[in-house]
């Protein structure tokens, strides 16, 4: 009878999981008394999606108690350690996965990606090539190799990929998309702009359609959230808590992707002072979920009231947890892209906050985004959606600067590349940090980790902005405003 009950609970949990109702799914799965490998795997997948790293690791280790060579658990643990910036353990688990199975492609790919983030590019190339050796139709590996070293993608390889894409046998959708991105870059190299855009369009369309949740994510970030943030915010707060946390000095970097946010972050963290780096995270989003769960946010038709005391404690505790510190006196930097939506709330929580608004010519920004495959940004796969996102961002920052101009410094990418010393001094002064030549020699850092699309550029000196680079694209994208 118990087995039947467990089976029913799993069926229900799986049903809700397929509907992306993760909390409901988890509620059924945790009630299962005898959790087998399938149950533990589904629980861990849900916890990973919920960004509950601590409990996801517990579930994955339970899988390893049943099966010490379970590749899913080993590889997933490597992923979670990488998210936690524990790169030593991440490397150990990725290596363990390929020692268990010499043809385990995800293990090789994740090792290559890890080494790429760390700037160990020779090792990254070695393991991407190993991926291709095992699976010669893994276009994601070719795509990353092309970014690392264009010479590794020969004309024969391009011809082979082009022919394979015509057949599309046994290829997953995302993989097909990467094939089109490879062809697009090859056309770009030859200055065949129309053919490049055609391949980009095909690649983005396939990538977007590969995940049914992308449509909901676009609606959420381009419609739902903007509608909410346009309401009038009011805050329930106490002066006591404001004073208690007044020694926390956060630096938030705002900007549209490909606008120089990674460069600015790296400049700031390359100075003399110890600055805790939160990178990109889910802290604000998780705090909001807690607000809603505990009924500490009150949304009406035209206004939103926030319990700032509750929110501040949640946010600050989360930062202190990821930095593993106890003191309530520290400086940190956060580059989470979606923070700009909730800037008023951040400034209410952190009155001392400094916001650096990274700017780039809007048309240049559009093209630079479209030329990439930003796989975690569903809106980046469609020209119309990119335009809308840029418009939302520009409008938000324009209104924000009217009220909080003392908290905001705008840094133009072109100006930063033309006058790096002057602009970097302005950035450091604004953040109340000392400037030294070290901040412009960031590329010499041995501890430099970068997982953004700028991870190759950031390992070189600042080069002067090419204002004419995107002029040829005007002819094909001339409707852009």
Per-residue pLDDT of 358-405, as tens digits, reads 999 999 999 999 999 998 899 999 999 999 999 999 999 999 999 999
Domain edge (last residue) among 94, 114, 133: 133
- Calpha distance 139→132 (Å, rounded): 8
- ∠ CA(276), CA(281), CA(287), 5° rounding? 105
| Structural domain span for residue 102 | 35-133
The predicted model gives 426-447 an average pLDDT of 92
pLDDT digits (tens, 9 = 90+) for 275-302: 989 888 888 877 877 787 788 888 888 8
In the predicted structure, residue 243 carries a pLDDT above the cut 60: no
**Do both 68 and 93 map to the same domain?**
yes
**Do both 164 and 62 map to the same domain?**
no
- Calpha distance 356→35 (Å, rounded): 48
**Do both 468 and 369 map to the same domain?**
yes
Tokens linked to 110 = 């994740």
pLDDT digits (tens, 9 = 90+) for 16-36: 999 889 999 999 999 999 999
Q: Is 5 helix (H, G, I), strand (E, B) or coil?
A: helix
**Do both 230 and 324 map to the same domain?**
yes
Give the DSSP letter of residue 259. Answer: S
Q: How far is CA 11 from CA 18, 23, 48, 239, 387, in A?
A: 11, 15, 20, 51, 42
Query: Does residue 15 lie within any of the structural domains?
Result: no
**Do both 147 and 116 map to the same domain?**
no
pLDDT digits (tens, 9 = 90+) for 321-335: 888 887 777 889 999
The predicted model gives 61-67 an average pLDDT of 96
Q: How far is CA 138 from CA 93, 129, 145, 172, 455, in A?
A: 22, 10, 11, 9, 21
The full DSSP string for 371-440 is TS--TT-GGGGSHHHHHHHHHHHHHHHHHHHHHHGGGEEEEEHHHHHHSHHHHHHHHHHHTT----GGGG
**Do both 166 and 190 map to the same domain?**
yes
Is 430 within 8 Å of 356 (Cβ atoms)?
yes
Domain edge (last residue) among 133, 163, 194: 133
Q: How far is CA 132 from CA 103, 104, 109, 146, in A?
A: 11, 12, 10, 13
In the predicted structure, residue 258 carries a pLDDT above the cut 70: yes
Burial of 210 (C-beta count, 10 Å sphere; 0-12/13-18/19+): middle
Query: Does residue 386 lie within any of the structural domains?
Result: yes
**Do both 196 and 64 map to the same domain?**
no
Tokens linked to 348 = 């209410």
The predicted model gives 402-409 an average pLDDT of 94
Query: Does residue 18 lie within any of the structural domains?
Result: no
**Do both 342 and 367 map to the same domain?**
yes
Tokens linked to 4 = 């039947």
- Predicted confidence at residue 3, as pLDDT, reads 53
Domain edge (last residue) among 82, 100, 133: 133
Mean pLDDT in the chain?
90
Give the other-Cβ count within 10 Å of 38's Cβ. Answer: 10
Query: Does residue 446 lie within any of the structural domains?
Result: yes
pLDDT digits (tens, 9 = 90+) for 124-156: 999 999 999 999 999 999 999 999 999 999 999
Q: The domain spanning residue 250 has which CATH number?
A: 3.40.50.300
Query: Does residue 57 lie within any of the structural domains?
Result: yes
Phi/psi of residue 36, nearest 5 degrees: -90, -175
Query: Does residue 415 lie within any of the structural domains?
Result: yes
Tokens linked to 245 = 């946390």
**Do both 39 and 174 map to the same domain?**
no
Burial of 350 (C-beta count, 10 Å sphere; 0-12/13-18/19+): buried
Residue (of 150, 78, 72) closest to 112 by Cα position? 78
At residue 242 the predicted structure's pLDDT band, cuts being 50, 70 and 90, is low
Q: How far is CA 301 from CA 233, 235, 244, 341, 348, in A?
A: 12, 16, 33, 18, 22
Query: Does residue 107 lie within any of the structural domains?
Result: yes
**Do both 400 and 466 map to the same domain?**
yes
Tally of domains within the chain: 3
**Do both 292 and 390 map to the same domain?**
yes
Q: pTM for the complete prediction?
A: 0.89
In the predicted structure, residue 1 carries a pLDDT above the cut 60: no
Tokens linked to 454 = 């700028």
Is 254 within 8 Å of 312 (Cβ atoms)?
no
Query: Does residue 20 lie within any of the structural domains?
Result: no
**Do both 194 and 263 map to the same domain?**
no
């Amino acid at each position: 009878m118990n087995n039947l009950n467990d089976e029913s609970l799993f069926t229900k949990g799986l049903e809700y999981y397929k509907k992306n109702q993760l909390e409901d799914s988890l509620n059924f799965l945790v009630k299962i008394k005898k959790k087998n490998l399938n149950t533990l795997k589904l629980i861990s997948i849900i916890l990973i999606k919920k960004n509950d790293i601590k409990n996801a690791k517990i579930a994955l280790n339970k899988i390893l108690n049943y099966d010490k060579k379970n590749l899913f658990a080993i590889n997933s643990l490597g992923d979670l350690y990488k998210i936690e910036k524990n790169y030593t353990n991440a490397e150990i688990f990725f290596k363990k996965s390929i020692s268990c199975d010499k043809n385990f492609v995800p293990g090789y790919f994740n090792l290559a990606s890890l080494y790429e983030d760390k700037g160990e590019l020779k090792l990254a190339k070695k393991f991407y090539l190993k991926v291709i050796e095992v699976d010669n139709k893994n276009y994601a590996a070719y795509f990353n190799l092309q970014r690392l070293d264009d010479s590794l993608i020969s004309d024969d390889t391009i011809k082979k990929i082009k022919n394979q894409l015509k057949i599309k046998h046994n290829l997953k959708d995302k993989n097909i998309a990467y094939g089109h991105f490879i062809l697009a870059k090859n056309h770009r190299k030859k200055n065949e702009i129309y053919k490049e855009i055609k391949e980009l369009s095909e690649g983005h369309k396939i990538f977007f359609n590969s995940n049914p949740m992308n449509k909901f994510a676009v609606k959420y970030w381009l419609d739902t959230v903007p509608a909410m943030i346009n309401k009038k915010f009011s805050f329930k707060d106490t002066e006591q808590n404001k004073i208690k946390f007044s020694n926390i000095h956060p630096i938030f970097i705002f900007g549209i992707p490909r606008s120089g946010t990674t460069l600015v972050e790296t400049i700031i963290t390359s100075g003399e002072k110890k600055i805790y780096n939160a990178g990109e995270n889910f802290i604000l989003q998780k705090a909001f979920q807690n607000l809603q769960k505990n009924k500490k946010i009150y949304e009406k038709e035209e206004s939103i009231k926030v319990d700032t005391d509750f929110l501040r404690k949640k946010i600050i505790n989360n930062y202190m947890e990821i930095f593993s510190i106890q003191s309530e006196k520290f400086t940190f930097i956060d580059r989470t892209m979606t923070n700009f939506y909730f800037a008023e709330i951040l400034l209410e929580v952190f009155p001392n906050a400094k916001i650096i608004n990274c700017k780039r010519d809007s048309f240049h920004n559009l093209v630079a985004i479209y030329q990439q495959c930003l796989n975690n940004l569903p809106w980046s796969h469609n020209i119309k959606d990119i335009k809308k996102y840029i418009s939302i961002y520009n409008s938000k920052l324009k209104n924000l600067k009217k009220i909080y101009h003392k908290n905001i410094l705008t840094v133009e990418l072109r100006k930063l590349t033309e006058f790096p010393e002057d602009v970097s001094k302005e950035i450091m002064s604004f953040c109340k940090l000392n400037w030294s030549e070290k901040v412009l020699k960031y590329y010499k850092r041995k501890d430099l980790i970068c997982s953004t699309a700028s991870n190759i550029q950031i390992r070189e000196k600042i080069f002067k902005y090419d204002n004419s680079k995107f002029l040829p694209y005007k002819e094909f994208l001339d409707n852009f405003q």
